[in-house]
A and B are shown apart, each in its own frame.
Chain A
Amino acid sequence: MASYTIPHAAGFVANDAPRIVTERFDHPDSYTLERYLATGGYDGLRAALERPPADVHGEVRDATLLGRGGAGFPAGVKWGFCPPGVWPRYLVVNGDESEPGTYKDRLLMELDPHQLIEGCLIACYAVGLSQCFLYIRGEMALAQERVAQALNDAYEAGWVGRNICGTDFSVDIVLHSGAGAYVVGEETALIESLEGNRGMPRLKPPYFPAAIGLYGQPTIVNNVETLANLPWIMRNGAAAFTAIGTPTSPGTRMIAVSGHVQRPGVYEITNGTTTFRDLIYGADYCRGTRPGRELKAFVPGGGSAPWFTPAQLDLPFEASEIGPQGSMLGSGAVMVMDDTTDIPAAALTLTKFYAHESCGKCVPCREGATWLERVLRRVCEGTGTPRDLDVLLEVGASISPGDFPHAAVPERGLEAKPFPYQMTTICFVGPSAFAPLHSALTLFPEEFEARVAANAHLDTELSGTAPSEVPVSV
């Protein structure tokens, strides 16, 4: 085991923009305790331990650190939802990064595990969380090894465990490897999984994990990137943090840009000010589409997000601007499609993903997502009919009723429908199966119509006797 050298990770692209969580990525040994300590490591924790826990919590609240997992809820406010007087409280770190297009938590765990560990410790100290479970996606072998090694080193050096830094602050951090289930990224499913169960969401309004979480106890579930910001905030203060970005979206965030761009990669961008145009076309970022190709569409926030077209390129990474335009920032992933893209086929890869990853709990998702996939596959393969396109929208409406969010299509006079959507399911996996398909059908209907036009006669021929006309009442 000693002879085994852990390979360096790939994908991150550095530039001159402000950096908060990727500062250390340039060092080849960024993941070691030595490098960490040599570059300000654990200073944030030391600073926190000098202050009362409530002050630390206040600092994080003042920083308006928005959750980086997808929902974008302010971490400091979330921490405050723990009911007073109920003990013990737990921290669960969501490192089950699986959203299509997304990978920044993986890099943070592979390249700077101590930063994450320090963030966990600060959160535990501030909120009185007595044990931390670091849930890492099962397929991320390297991240698990790096975090395990970092934890072993940190325990040995006294940064984790009993009487941290000689104080009476004591907390265990337990590394917990997942085993392959996208839905476990949903925080209640994550807790189920951590309890040894099938990872099925158990959202029970009005309860949420901060009140009733792991083992029924108050539980903070935070994303890896969210926690990775904490050491910087404790070292530099909330004011320095909010000085970057905009007041409603301060700081930076990591965005993975993939697909049809010249320089795909993971970039640390500035919240609220960097635009999609900067990111896709900027010289410091992806440098545009491949030569001779035009941008056709892009997914702005991970596979679940409704799609944008060039008309939305100038929108910044600011949730309050994205929502009204019909999508979301989600998990920090941009997938770019140029004019060579087969739109129905691209939508199918995502719809299939969500159908495959449905936990099977809610009927509309369990049955509907697979139904969508099967019909869409027929359309892509050329055996669909025009009626099938209506069925896709109708089935989607059973998962997500009402107006589904989408971008504006100026040339067709179609106005944007704002985020969010309604849903008949507990979690977002069901609507996520519909989102790419709905976007593709709404933004590029002609590509679907072309696939089914030749089969229009089948709809008429079958009408009256088709299986779809047979009453199911029994």
Chain B
Amino acid sequence: MSFFTEENRTLADEIIGRYPKRRSAMIPLLHVAQGQAGWVSPEAMVEIADLVDTTPAEVLGTCSFYEMFKREPVGKYLVNVCVTMSCALAGATELMEHAEERLGVRAGGTTPDGMFTLASAECQAACTEAPCLQVNYRYRYRVDADGFDQLIDELASGSLDDEIPPHGITARVRQHIPVDRAVGALPPESVDEQPVWLAAPAGNGAGAA
């Protein structure tokens, strides 16, 4: 019936509650959806539209703008090989060729067993450790052909399961704002005064903890 699991539905409500406007939760909720299914399905978009009070068309518009959201199932491991300048200077092209050969798919393809999707990616901010790649957004630095083969073997054997979750789950540590510590998000139209500390005299009891 509904797309989100009960647990994720609760999480979605918590996330929405952090923003002054519901729509701001759109990208975080798309991440939650992708974390649940490994990709973002039309059903997920319809439900998110409902949660953030917009139309599925607008959710699709936002979703399709961002590289990370996959609107079709991908492999358990998304292997993103960086091909931008610093990595290219350090042999990214050769690495990609090797990866294609090893996995038997072209960049953009998924292995028949559904384990690996190989993709060329733009700069991943690890330029000094070129050539680099990410598996489900976990870095591997200065990867050569042997290193790549070893990585694939380890992924296939499951020995990296602790470090690298299946595609869709990016951060495994989530922010949680304790209710008794939260200031709370108010819609901007409901606030028209300056914050209290601006009005208060200086040094009002700071220095605790």
Q: Which residues of A contact B (CB under 8 A)?
A: 1, 3-4, 6-7, 10-11, 42, 46, 49-53, 55, 85, 87-88, 97-103, 106, 125, 128-131, 137-142, 144-146, 148-149, 151-152, 155-162, 165-172, 174-182, 193-199, 215-217, 256-260, 264-266, 299, 303, 333, 335, 337, 341, 345-346, 349-350, 353, 356-357, 359
Selected interface stretch from B96-104, B105-113, B148-156, B169-177: B169-177
Q: Are A131 and B182 in contact (CB-based, < 8 A)? A: no
**Is the Cβ of B185 less than 8 Å from the Cβ of A172?**
yes
B172, A1: Cβ atoms closer than 8 Å:
yes
B121 → chain A, closest Cβ, in Å?
A: 8
Inter-chain contacts of B207 with A (CB < 8 A): 46, 49-50, 165
* Least CB distance, B129 to chain A, in whole angstroms: 6
> Contacts A177-B31, A177-B170 known; A356 to B191 CB distance under 8 Å?
no
Contact between A165 and B209, CB atoms less than 8 A apart: yes
Residue of B61, B136, B171, B206 near A198 (CB, 8 A) is B61
Q: Please indicate the chain B residues that have their CB under 8 angstroms from the CB of A101 in the complex.
A: 85-86, 123, 127
The answer to whether B206 touches A49, judged by C-beta atoms less than 8 angstroms apart, is yes
> In the complex, which residues of chain A have a beta carbon less than 8 angstroms from the beta carbon of B61?
197-198
CA distance A103 to B9 in the complex (A): 35
Instruction: Report the separation of the CA atoms of residues A6 and B172 in the bound assembly, to the nearest whole angstrom.
Output: 10
Mark interface residues in B33-72 (1 if CB within 8 Å of A CB, else 0).
0000000000000000000101000000110011111000
Q: A87-B194, A139-B137, A335-B127 are in contact. List 20 more A-B contacts (CB 8 A).
A: A1-B172, A49-B207, A53-B202, A98-B125, A101-B127, A138-B67, A138-B137, A155-B178, A155-B181, A166-B205, A167-B208, A169-B195, A170-B195, A170-B196, A179-B66, A197-B23, A198-B61, A258-B90, A258-B128, A335-B85
The answer to whether A53 and B198 have CB atoms under 8 Å apart is yes
Chain B nearest CB: distance from A123 CB in Å? Answer: 13
User: What residue in chain B is nearest A169 (Cβ atoms)?
Assistant: B197
A152 touches B128 (CB 8 A): no
- Tell me if A138 and B195 are in contact (CB < 8 A): no
Knowing A125-B197, A148-B175, A181-B65, the reply to whether A196 touches B206 (Cβ < 8 A) is: no
Closest residue to A139 on the B side, CB-wise?
B137
Q: Do residues B139 and A167 form an inter-chain contact, with CB atoms below 8 A? A: no
Contact across chains for A195 and B24 when beta carbons are under 8 A apart: yes
Interface-centre pick from B28, B121, B194 (highest chain A CB count, 10 A) = B194
> Contact at B197–A100, with CB atoms within 8 Å?
no
Residue of A nearest to B85 (CB): A349
- Output the least CB separation between A38 and chain B (Å): 14
Q: Sorted from nearest, which 5 A-B pairs have the closest CB atoms?
A: A180-B67, A49-B206, A196-B26, A179-B66, A161-B181
Give B contacts to A, CB under 8 Å: 18-21, 23-28, 30-31, 52, 54, 61-62, 65-69, 80, 83-86, 88-90, 121-130, 134, 136-139, 141, 162-163, 170-178, 180-186, 188, 191-198, 200-209
Question: Contact at B67–A179, with CB atoms within 8 Å?
Answer: yes
Interfacial chain B residues near A260, Cβ < 8 Å: 89
- CA gap between A52 and B89 in the complex, in Å: 51
- Give complex CA distance A98, B196 in Å: 37
Check if A353 sits within 8 Å of B125, measured CB to CB. Answer: no
Is A4 within 8 A of B172, CB to CB?
A: yes
Nearest residue, chain B, Cβ from A103: B125
